[in-house]
Structure 1
Amino acid sequence: MKCLIWVLLLTFSLTINAQQSNYTTPECEVINGIDDNNQNKKFIQGLDNWLFTEKQLSVNTEISDDAASMLAELNQQFKKRGSTLILVPVPRRNIVYPHKIPVSANFDFEIAKNKYLDHITTLKQLGLHVADLTSMFSTKQSQLFFKRDFHWRPEGAKVTANLIKEYVKDLPVYQQIKKQQVLTHSNGIYGLESKLQKRFKIHCQDQGYPKEYHKLYQNVSSDSEAENALFEEDEISDVVLLGTSFSAIPRLHFAGFLSEAMQAGVDNYSVAGGGLVVALTQYVHSTEFKNNPPKLIIWEYPATNIKASMFALALPKLEDKSCDLDSVISTNVQLKLGENIVAYNGGEDFKKMKQKQLLFDVNFGNKAVKEFKLTTHFVENRKINRKIGHSRLQEMDGHFLFDPSVITAEQELHFLALAINVTDPEWVGTKVTTKVCSKEL
């Protein structure tokens, strides 16, 4: 019976692949360069049925000087806890398959490739471990990434997992990891119609591309009779994966391929839609990390610009900073609609404090709060508006301790006040405790 099922799956897969290889790009002359109003992006039809947006052809992968300092400190803090951090900056599909981009798009492969290489060089100069994925540039494999979605296919996830293993196997930490024989099996087929091609279809009068099919996978331990479980639920692994949707989407199976390549259990704390640092921030605030720091942390992210402000919530937690003692300002406020001053450095109690000397601690009575808008007012008659947190954060518990000095332009300004702007009536009446405290320089 199993043999019959595999034959049917194989026949179905071959039929689908044949259909797609014979498919002709839809004639939609008006689509190239058209503004997609819902996403504020422009479509670019590639060769061989590839589809891009203008944003997906971006070459921005710079690391600011402030961010570089933050990354170096982040690495040191993990080391103090006995964790080795491996960064995995995933190259964009525009530099893996540049020949699929039309000449009319004016995409410069050399510039994009060199910016990615500069990104890697900067990380290495900071003393960080970086998995080498540059072999993807010269790959002859045609299915590492989807044609009409920016994610990698399972094939790309598997190649990446093996490249990470090649890098890690020469590090001392690899010998410290508990090993277990792990196998990967295919157990089905999935047809993807990406959000991008759905939007294309709307703009192109219902004329669109076919689904992209790929195999589904599962892992089993070779010494286990259970085919649907690899490890006991309460078993803690030595390897933790922090990543984006590339790691979080189950059908792409990156964590599974990584477990097979490493021959070890992998605990996946990745967050889809969380950007570069949400998984990282969420994890360092978790009780799992506090009680059981892993031996190896693998941090996957699509190569992009890295800014210091991204680490405002993660670093204070890693550095064990706190405003519980010796706070300069401490207030309790019940929120109302409009601007709410939650901390004020004025009157007879005014203290001359530069932004770079401070930490802010904002604790909401509503533990479900994951993000909020904060305005910092300065003595120099300036103010900065920013969003703190992220809608994907799950572990903050309504409590936000953050370093406001991550932006260089603000470091020398003198602190005056903090304000939370409330526009949602559901926030009215929420209690918030705010503390401002000094940090060691």
Structure 2
Amino acid sequence: MIRPALCALLLASSPAQAEPSAFGCTNTEFAPSPSIEGRDGVFYRVQSDLRLQHPMSDIVVDQLARLARVLAGQGTTLVYVNVPTKGQAMPGFLPPEAAAYGYDEAMMQANYRDVVTRLNAAGVAAPDLMTAMLQAGPNEMVFFRSDFHWTPIGARLAAEAIGRTIRALPAYDGVTPARFTSQEAGPETAFSGLRRELQTFCKETLPPVEARTWITTRATKADAPAAAGQDGALDIFGQGDGGASLVLVGTSFSDSTINNFAGFLSEFTGIETTNYSITGGNQFGAMTSYLTSREFAEHRPTFLIWENPIYNSLAQFGPMPMDELIAAAGPPCDIPTGASAADGMLTAAFPPGALKAGDSLLFDHGGEGARVASVTLEGAGGLHRSIRIERSDRLRATGRFYLNLAPFWRPDLTRVSVSFDRPLTEASSLTLCPTPKGDAS
């Protein structure tokens, strides 16, 4: 027999009674991506939208600050864009039972602002997208109802906030902004893996990921009237950007055409956006693909926007991904090592003590296509360590791999070898990287 007091305790600790589903959905909390349905049939993922598993640690903030300094030393300003969760930026459609799954609106929003504040204090330009997206009208959805990506409304508000941040940066002082205009186009429907998952738990058809798209174009001399830039400066023909360039790397939030995010960035920055984003690349896919590319090495942009959802932790894979980005961001790794080729490997020998803990190496296959670099470190005292650097199928196979020696360094390190998943070419090389300007590590 259950005592009345115990019964009351059990009732108090159970989730609040959910409102009837708009689409006849049941048990969506047991979907592959556990979700709950809110007002007007808006779905939220329990883990990623309602909870924040990976608040940004001080170590990651320091790594991003190092990356920003090294990029700045070579003429590129980093803008790190935290995409807020659906629960942070669109709380008005949440159901009451969200609290039973760990959601606290004030705490979630304070967490986002804390990350942005700490990044900016460390010298990393980090716009506040959450506050901008919270300014949407009461019936405007900044995320799709049955998907976790932002709508064109959300993307536009985000781009406007990023534009304000970039226009206030010192590197923008010499920019003459061009004029870009965005116009509504026809409707477009995008595929959604989350919607497909949830549909099996619902009797009625869930709303598609559909929106009226936008097309952004650059003004020409024939366009009239002349437009004033957002800083008030008159841009007579909407032409010219003072040689400035802007590159966007990110996730499916940036790669999807339905939201026109890259186009809106051009509109609100006055600089044409080149988009290297990768769907399914997670937090490092696009950034690693771009920074290890020859395009980046030969033509560094004025501004580099790195978009990443806040729930994609930069600490998930340890220090190596960020260490590789920092090495790639520095000056050309062109210090010869005298490496020789034999049996499909490049090998460089060093006097004892010549290699330092902070040194980095570039293993360049010499062309596109190689996805794996197998590195061996040897020392006079019998040291033998193997490291595998790999690019998944989603990433671009640039054939260029960077390794910071700090996690593997020993004073007796005297030999470095590398082989690739493709035969060596005449252009294959093993070189040492100079200490990056601005790196205080």
TM-score after normalising by structure 2? 0.72
CA deviation after TM superposition for structure 1 residue 71, in Å: 1.9
Distance 1:388 1:200 in 2: 33
1:319-373 deviation per Cα after TM superposition (whole angstroms, max 9, x unaligned): 236375236x8664449xxxxxx8799xxx9968999355354444884123467
CA distance in 2, matches of 1:438, 1:86: 24
What secondary structure is seen at the aligned counterpart in 2 of 1:218?
Answer: strand
Change (3 A) 1:148 1:437: same
Q: Distance in 2 between matches of 1:155 and 1:167?
A: 19
> Distance between the aligned counterparts of 1:46 and 1:414, measured in 2?
61
Alpha-carbon distance between aligned partners in 2 of 1:350 and 1:372, rounded to the nearest angstrom: 24
- The amino acid that maps onto 2:313 is N
Q: Distance in 2 between matches of 1:28 and 1:416?
A: 63
* Counterpart AA for 2:206: Y
1:262-309 deviation digits (Å, cap 9, x = unpaired): 233222232322223333333334444344433333332222422333
**Aligned pair 1:67/2:60, yes or no?**
yes
Tell me how far apart the structure 2 counterparts of residues 194 and 147 of structure 1 sit (CA, whole Å). 11
Query: CA 1:224–1:370 in 2, change beyond 3 Å: closer, same or farther?
Result: farther
Task: Say which of 27, 31, 52 aligns to 2:44.
Answer: 52
Matches within 5 A, 1:147-166: 147-166=145-164
Shift of 1:25: 2.5
Q: What residue is the counterpart of 1:245 in the other structure?
A: 252
Match of 1:393 in 2: 395
Identical counterparts, % of pairs = 21
Q: CA deviation at 1:156?
A: 0.8
Paired with 2:409 and 2:22, the residues of 1 have a C-alpha distance of: 53
Distance of aligned partners of 1:225 and 1:431 in 2 relative to their CA distance in 1, 3 Å threshold = same
- Residue in 2 that maps onto 1:169: 167
Q: 1:25 is aligned with what amino acid?
A: A
Equivalences, count: 389
Q: Name the CA distance, whole Å, in 1 between partners of 2:414 and 2:203.
A: 56
Pairing 1:130–2:103 present: no
- Counterpart for residue 214 of structure 1: 211
Give the whole-Å Cα distance in 1 for the aligned partners of 2:36 and 2:376: 39
Alignment partner for residue 255 of structure 1, among 253, 262, 271? 262
Q: What is the root-mean-square deviation in Å for CA atoms of aligned residues?
A: 4.1
Q: Secondary structure at the match of 1:301?
A: strand
- Shift of the 194–79 alpha-carbon distance from structure 1 to 2, 3 Å rule, reads same
1:272 aligns with 2:279: yes
Unaligned runs of 5+ in 2: 1-19, 224-237, 436-440
**CA distance 1:146–1:236, shift in 2 (3 Å):** farther
1:42 and 2:49 matched: no
Letter in 1 for 2:63: M
Give the counterpart of 1:188 among 163, 186, 207: 186
Which residue in 1 is equivalent to 2:14?
Answer: none
Q: CA deviation at 1:68?
A: 3.1
Change (3 A) 1:199 1:385: farther
Gaps of 5+ in 1: 1-22, 336-341
Query: CA separation of 1:431/1:291 partners in 2, compared to 1, >3 Å: closer, same or farther?
Result: closer
CA distance in 1, matches of 2:412, 2:148: 43
CA separation of 1:61 and 1:116: change in aligned 2, threshold 3 A: farther
Q: Which residue of structure 1 lines up, in the alignment, with residue 28 of structure 2?
A: 31
Aligned ranges for residues 33-432 of structure 1 at < 5 Å? 33-34=30-31, 36=32, 41-57=33-49, 58-99=51-92, 100-101=94-95, 102-103=97-98, 104-136=100-132, 138-141=134-137, 142-202=140-200, 204=201, 207-223=204-220, 238-303=245-310, 304-307=312-315, 308-320=319-331, 322=333, 325-326=336-337, 332-334=342-344, 356-364=357-365, 367-371=368-372, 387-394=389-396, 396=398, 398-405=399-406, 430-431=423-424
Q: Indicate how the Cα distance of structure 1 residues 420 and 395 shifts in structure 2: closer, same or farther if over 3 A, else same.
A: closer
Deviation at 1:134, TM superposition (A): 3.8
Tell me how far 1:54 sits from its aligned partner.
3.2
1:162-220, Cα deviation, whole Å (9 max, x unpaired):
11222333334334223222211111012345211112223x27754121431111123
